[in-house]
Amino acid sequence: MTLREPQGKGSRFLLIGPPGAGKGTQAARLAEFYGVPAISTGDIFRSNVSNQTELGMQAKAYMDAGDNVPDSLTNDLVRDRLSDMDAAGGFLLDGYPRTVDQVRELDAILLSHGHSLDAVIELVADPEVVIERLRLRGAEQGRSDDTDSVVRHRLEVYREQTEPLVQIYGSRGVLAKVDGIGTIDEVTDRITSALSERGLAAPESA
């Protein structure tokens, strides 16, 4: 499938951060601010399953069995999503890549069309602050996945998965570490300031 070329210079971002760091909230805000779609693997899976696409049906079989969707199928779904018209002028990825192999695949998808990521934003948050935040959310919403032990395990898994990606993107000079603790506006301001310092301004202020 051919990736449609943007009319102008778009921004291609990746947002990573631990559970409870407000990543989803910031992804939505940044997507609106920079005029690009926020793309998460969860949304891609749900959309393809809902539309009963061939790839979606393959993913559903794994999801219904309680298994992780394999890298090869996840890569195909992401490649297909990035070929959509709304992503031609840029995008913000949330939840992909999660592994070194997925980093290589994303590189291949972008480089085959002469593109690369403009910036990778890592939301950094003190683990104890995140744990307390998720504990409160779990109590308020009755979520079984926000207990202390489960949250600590999720944070450990996140560190194991993310550290290699942080090293890769850090070595490329595209990584921006941003403090994820504070009000929503404060964190958004920190992110946009970090991106502005790298010459990445929102379209209306460019």
The pLDDT tens digits of the residues spanning 6-41 come to 333 579 999 998 888 888 899 999 999 999 999 988
**Residue 66 placed within a domain:** no
Task: Specify whether the CB–CB gap between 176 and 120 falls below 8 A.
Answer: yes
The question of whether 172 is a catalytic residue gets the answer: no
Please pick, among 12, 23, 81, 190, the residue that the annotation labels catalytic: 23
Please pick, among 143, 159, 172, 198, the residue that the annotation labels catalytic: 143
The tokens of 182 are what?
């504070």
Please pick, among 4, 46, 79, 98, the residue that the annotation labels catalytic: 98
| Diameter over CA atoms, the chain | 48
**Residue 70 placed within a domain:** no
| pLDDT for position 144 | 67
| pLDDT for position 179 | 95
Based on C-alpha coordinates, what's the Rg of the chain?
17
Nearest to 133 by CA among 123, 119, 120, 121: 123
**Residue 202 placed within a domain:** no
pLDDT one-digit tens code per residue, 43-56: 888 889 899 999 88
Task: Specify whether the CB–CB gap between 169 and 175 falls below 8 A.
Answer: yes
The question of whether 137 is a catalytic residue gets the answer: yes
**Residue 53 placed within a domain:** no
| pLDDT for position 7 | 33
Cα-Cα-Cα-Cα torsion 3, 109, 203, 118, nearest 10 degrees, comes to -160
Rounded to two decimals, the pTM is 0.82
CA distance 165 to 148: 26
Residues in the chain: 206
CA distance 77 to 58: 10
**Residue 110 placed within a domain:** yes
**Residue 174 placed within a domain:** yes
The question of whether 29 is a catalytic residue gets the answer: no
The tokens of 12 are what?
């291609």
The question of whether 46 is a catalytic residue gets the answer: no
Task: Specify whether the CB–CB gap between 34 and 11 falls below 8 A.
Answer: yes
The CATH number that applies at residue 109 is: 3.40.50.300
- 182: DSSP letter: S
**Residue 27 placed within a domain:** yes
| pLDDT for position 6 | 34
The tokens of 171 are what?
């070595």
- CA-to-CA separations, 102 to 58, 152, 169, 178, in angstroms, rounded: 19, 25, 13, 23
Residue range(s) defining the domain that contains residue 161: 12-38+89-196
Contacts of 198 (CB under 8 A, 6+ apart): 118, 119, 176
Please pick, among 79, 137, 152, 177, the residue that the annotation labels catalytic: 137
Q: What is the pLDDT along the chain (206 residues), one digit of tens a residue?
A: 333 333 335 799 999 988 888 888 999 999 999 999 999 888 888 889 899 999 889 888 887 876 778 888 989 989 999 998 999 889 999 989 988 999 999 999 999 878 999 999 999 999 888 888 888 888 888 766 667 888 888 888 888 888 899 999 999 999 999 999 999 999 999 999 999 998 887 765 44
What count of other Cβ atoms lies within 10 Å of the Cβ of residue 164? Answer: 12
| pLDDT for position 206 | 41
| pLDDT for position 1 | 32
| pLDDT for position 108 | 95
Q: How many domains does the chain have?
A: 1
**Residue 2 placed within a domain:** no
The phi, psi pair for 30, rounded to 5°, reads -65, -40
The question of whether 152 is a catalytic residue gets the answer: no
The tokens of 187 are what?
């964190």
